[in-house]
Every structure is written in structure tokens, then in C-alpha cells.
A and B are shown apart, each in its own frame.
Chain A
Amino acid sequence: MNVLEIRGLSVDYLSAGGTVHAVDDVSLDLRRGEILGLAGESGSGKSTLAHAIGRLLRPPAMITAGSVVYHRKDEQVDVLKLAPKALRAFRWKELAVVFQSAMNSLNPVMAVGAQIDDVLRIHEPDMSRKARGERVVELLRRVGISADRRKSYPHELSGGMRQRAAIAIALALNPEVIVMDEPTTALDVVVQRDILHEIRTLKDEYGFAVIFITHDLSLLMEISDRIAIMYAGRVVETGTAKELHRSPRHPYTLGLLRSFPKLRGPREDLLGIPGTPPDLRDLPPGCAFHPRCQSAFDDCGRVSPRLLPGPHGEVACLLNENTGVEVQA
């Protein structure tokens, strides 16, 4: 039961130095009520992808191909083809976004309560002022913010509170999908855990699906049902969190797993990934990851691997393309 189907989505940035394929032919499914993790280093295109789904890209970024099909009860619409009015109605009511830093994503000159209220006012024109007020208090309470804080401005709240407020705003219309773009990156570890816990609880209660974006794969392992790994604008591996954790098949996934200390379980050496993310204007031929890949062989510099289904999820790596063998850890 998919709620969102992304097919062949590509996003280019047009710049004087050439065209950057920030997102390149990405296809993903989001199932109703699941948490889909999207991981990758900065510049892997994961944030661009999130913005593209909500049609929030600004020039010079531009969607050049693909579709984002949203499934309602009895119909399906391509978000990318919605007319402005239909798009406005779709936004927030069906797909809400929580941005990386609530400090930047909350309007600094508007009280947090008013920032929930204006969503209600536009999307629920029949709601009375009183009903809106009650809903605002209810939403804030639900994310652990006391009612008297509704008149507070973002700068008067702590980082964790601000992010909770941003989540409350996202919940305002009870959307089917919430895109969370690094919602906890700016927070310290303790607050981070609280918020993650909160997100899970809210998800179980409200039943929305989440696209959770982060560079922190170990965090995704904890919270996600399924995970997609992005590198240089492409999805290189997908799978359930469990499978990816137990047996990552793409060397890049393995590298990501090893670049963070585990919160639980036995200690492992932090290997990380040598080198830096590639220049998107000038990608290496073949597999974009091969210059940094410790398992690379001759063909990797020539043949571009396709994302192929395997026993659990998909992977785009020549090591797996024909044989399906696991990468040696």
C-alpha cells in the first residue's frame, strides 16, 4: 500500500559552471504509515529530493524528469503536475515538511501558535477562531509544549522546543506524509533521542508516513522501517533497516555504517569512507563511488551499475549485479 511513488525523478541545478545532476533518476516507494529513511553524505541529493517531492525547489534547481504520484483513497495524482491551486491544497494537508533547523524554518517574527493558526485558517476556512485556538493548544500539548508557550516567539524557545513546535505545525492538518529533512541534526544527543521517540509515538498515534532524511545512518537504523542510501544523486541501496544493518551490500553503505559509533551493541572500528564526495558537475565515469571504494575493480570505472532487486531490497553495485554476493566486510 504505497502512499507515494517516486519514479525516475531527476533534478538539475543550472549554473555557469555546467549542469549539476543533483538528483538523477531516483525511484522510491513510500508505504502508508512507514518511516522511510534516506541517508547519504552532504551533496548526495537527499535534501534536494525532499524539496522536489514538495515542489519546493527554487531556481536554479529544476525538476527535469519523473513523477511523484500520491495515492489518495480512490485516486492518484502526480504532485509535479498539480495546478497551483490544487498544489496549495495538497501541501500540508497531505504532505507536510519538518526542516533541518527550526531556528531557520520558523518565522522569527511570528509567535509559534500563530504559525500553526495560519495553516488552519487557510486550509480549514470553516473552523471557528475558538476551535482553531483549541487545536493549537492541543497540538502543542501533544508534542510536549505547554499552552502558554503558544504566544512565544521562536527565539524564546530552546532548540528542542523549537523542533517540537515545528513538528506540531507539521501535524496541524493530520497529513498522510511528513518529510523530515534532518530534523534532529542541530540538536544535542539527549534532545535528539527525545524527539526521535516523540516522532515514533506520534506516528503510531496519527498513522502518517515519514520520509526521514539524515546523514546519520546509525540513527536511521533505530527509527526507520526501510532505508534508502543515496550517493551522488542516485539511490545505491534500499532495504529494511534490519537487513541493511545486518548485511549491507553496497560498499558505500558499509562505509556509512562504520563512520558512526554505534549507540548500542559491540564496539567496531570506525572506518569511515576515504576521500570526499565527488564534484557533481564532473562525476567519475562508471560507478560514481568507485574512486573511494575499497572493493572497486576494473569494470567499476567503466560500467555504471543499475539498481537491481536482490533477495532483500535493491542495490546498485557491480559486485552484486550478476552474482548477488555480499561485499566482504
Chain B
Amino acid sequence: MRFLARRLGFYLLTAWAAVTLNFLIPRMMPGDPVDLLVARLKGNVDPAAIEAMKQAFGISDANLWVQYVDYLGNLFNGELGRSITFFPTEVTTIITGALPWTVGLVGVATLISYLLGTLLGVLAAWKRGSWLDGVLPVSTFMHAVPYFWVALALVFVFGVTLRWFPVSRAYGLDVVPAWDGPFVSSVLYHAALPAITIVIASMADRILGMRNVMVTTLGEDYVVMAEAKGLTSRRVMWAYAARNAILPNITSFALSLGFVVGGSVLTEIVFSYPGIGSMLLKAVENEDFPLMQGIFLVISLAVLVANFLADLAYVVLDPRTRQEA
């Protein structure tokens, strides 16, 4: 399992880099963030909040190393400081409240988009010359569409004009959070448009990527041989061609995750979805640096975990990575 060990090592290194960036950014940017905040709010800040911020940043007169060690120590204890916006709530508390919504929405939508995009890509390559070629120009256009613009368009058409779907919040005002039918269906109903946004905006990359690799794979000898073996088209397409074409696509999918997450942040904002993305906007609007940084850290770690899951999938699907070297 050297492959996985190497990847894991890389992710740990990246996590450390994210943590360190988080530490360095406030110190390297021009001006002291606390002073900046005080200046912007023209003194209308709770002194306790200022103190909390200083603490959160670990900004003190101690030298940078001591600050860094303190900062890492706090992180290991799961302390991300206190939010300014929701003072004195801990940043971790806010994130823990918002994270499930985001993980649920973005996770499910990304999965759907991946499966659907891969399927369409495979079919578009397999049935070259059929009506499925029409998928290509649409995908070419869609692959650079801003997520939030898709969100706005969907809200306009299906929310405001047709009134088929709710356009904000995660569940209706008429239900209380509980594991029961009305609540769950309300959640699903509310998640429909944001999820469709993410699926539409992120699917084009999958379609195009899968199609291109698949077309190349179809020319491989093992696909020609599968055909020569008299296997059914379905088996040649899936067990031989797609099964191999999927591998490079997992890698590019993993690399695109950061982009998908970025787009999802903006999507949440359009729908006032109570996830991490909307929290990030609140943090930004209120110059709530501790919350902002905490969210960045959590998003980064989530992307790393997702990348590692993609690596696991790769190992399961490609026997060559399992070779003990």
C-alpha cells in the first residue's frame, strides 16, 4: 500500500500547509487585522471581542515561533477561537452546526454529478456520431458557467416564475427538525434547486473528461480484443472500455473538487442555504476573521479527505496501484 501511504503523507503535508497559511496570512497581509477591524467599525466594537480576536490570532508580542507553536497547540485542542459575528460563540460550534448541511448538499450533488457525467461521457464516446454528440457543445458552454449564475437562473425560472421550488433556507418554516417524514421531505424539497445547480455546473467537466479518455480507450487493443471475443456491446463498453477510462478521470475529478467546493460556497449563498458557504459570506461581511479562517481550514480539510477517498477508490479500481514494490 505504498501508493496510499505516499498519498496520505502528501495530504498531511498539505493539511499542515493549509494550517500554516492560515497562521501566516493575517501576519503577512499589510496592516494588523484587529486594527483594521476596529477602524472599519469606527470603534463600535465590544472590547471583549477585540480581545477575543487578538487571542484568536494569537497576535502578541511574543516572537513568531512562540505564536506559531501556541497556534498549533490551540488547533490540536480543536480551538479555532471565537466568532466576532456571533460573539461569544466558538467558531467550532458554528462550523459544526453548518457543516452537515454543506456535506449533505455538496456531497450528494457531487456524487450525482459524477455518476451522471461519467455515464453521459461514456455514452457520448460509445455512440459517437449519434444525437449524443449534441451533448458536447452544451458541455463546452456549461463548463465555464459560474455556479452562482446557474443558481440565479434556476431561482428565476423554477423559483420565482414557475414557483415549483423554494428558493431559500434548508427546510420550511412549518416543520421542526426531527427525523420524521415531513421534515426530511421538506429538506429534500429545499435542497432540490441548490443540488441541481451544483450538478449542472459541475457535470460538464465530467462529461467532457470522460468522453475524451473513453474515446482514446476505445482504440486500445484490449477493447478491440474484447470485441473480437464476441462479448456483448454492453460488456465491452463497461467492463473493458469504461472500466479503464474511469481511472484517469478519478484523478481529474479529485483535482476539480476544490473548484466544485468553491462553486458550492457561492451556490449556498444564492439560496441562503445554512451551510458553510453562507457562514463564510456572513464572516466576510462582518470582517469576522476567526470564523473566516476556521471555515477555510475546514473546507480545505474536507477537500483533502475527499481527495483521499478518491485515492481509495482508485486503489480499489486499479490493481496496478496495489502492487507491492
Is the Cβ of B226 less than 8 Å from the Cβ of A56?
no
CA distance A136 to B312 in the complex (A): 31
Q: Give 16 new A-B contacts, CB below 8 A, not counting A107-B243, A108-B222.
A: A87-B230, A90-B230, A91-B229, A93-B230, A105-B222, A105-B225, A107-B222, A107-B226, A107-B244, A108-B244, A108-B319, A109-B243, A109-B320, A110-B239, A111-B319, A119-B231
Number of interface residues of B (CB under 8 A): 25
Is the Cβ of B224 less than 8 Å from the Cβ of A155?
no
7 nearest A-B residue pairs (beta carbon) = A91-B230, A104-B221, A105-B221, A153-B319, A88-B230, A92-B230, A97-B228
The interface bits of chain B over 217-242 (1 if a CB of A lies within 8 angstroms of the residue's CB, else 0) are 01111101111111110010001100
CB-CB under 8 A for A56 and B228, given A104-B220, A106-B222: yes
B323 contacts A by Cβ under 8 Å? yes
**Residue from A58, A97, A107, A155 having most chain B Cβ neighbours under 10 A:** A107
Q: Which residue of B lies closest to A153 (CB)?
A: B319
CB neighbours (8 Å) of A118 from chain B are: 229, 231, 235, 239
CB neighbours (8 Å) of B243 from chain A are: 107, 109-110
- Give the contacting residue for B225; candidates A97, A111, A122; CB below 8 A: A97
Is the Cβ of B225 less than 8 Å from the Cβ of A156?
no
**Residue from A90, A106, A108, A123 having most chain B Cβ neighbours under 10 A:** A108
Question: Which residues of B81-138 are within 8 A (CB) of A?
Answer: none
B49 contacts A by Cβ under 8 Å? no
Chain B interface helix/strand/loop/mixed: helix
- Give the contacting residue for A122; candidates B220, B224, B230, B320; CB below 8 A: B230
A89 contacts B by Cβ under 8 Å? yes
B32 contacts A by Cβ under 8 Å? no
CB neighbours (8 Å) of B218 from chain A are: 58
CB neighbours (8 Å) of A93 from chain B are: 230
Is the Cβ of B244 less than 8 Å from the Cβ of A109?
yes
CB neighbours (8 Å) of A212 from chain B are: none
Q: Which residue of B lies closest to A122 (CB)?
A: B231
A54 contacts B by Cβ under 8 Å? yes
A69 contacts B by Cβ under 8 Å? no
Question: Which residues of B277-325 are within 8 A (CB) of A?
Answer: 317-320, 323
Is the Cβ of A122 less than 8 Å from the Cβ of B235?
yes
A256 contacts B by Cβ under 8 Å? no
CB neighbours (8 Å) of B227 from chain A are: 56, 91
CA distance A165 to B235 in the complex (A): 21
Is the Cβ of A109 less than 8 Å from the Cβ of B317?
yes
The interface bits of chain A over 90-124 (1 if a CB of B lies within 8 angstroms of the residue's CB, else 0) are 11110011011100111111110000001100110
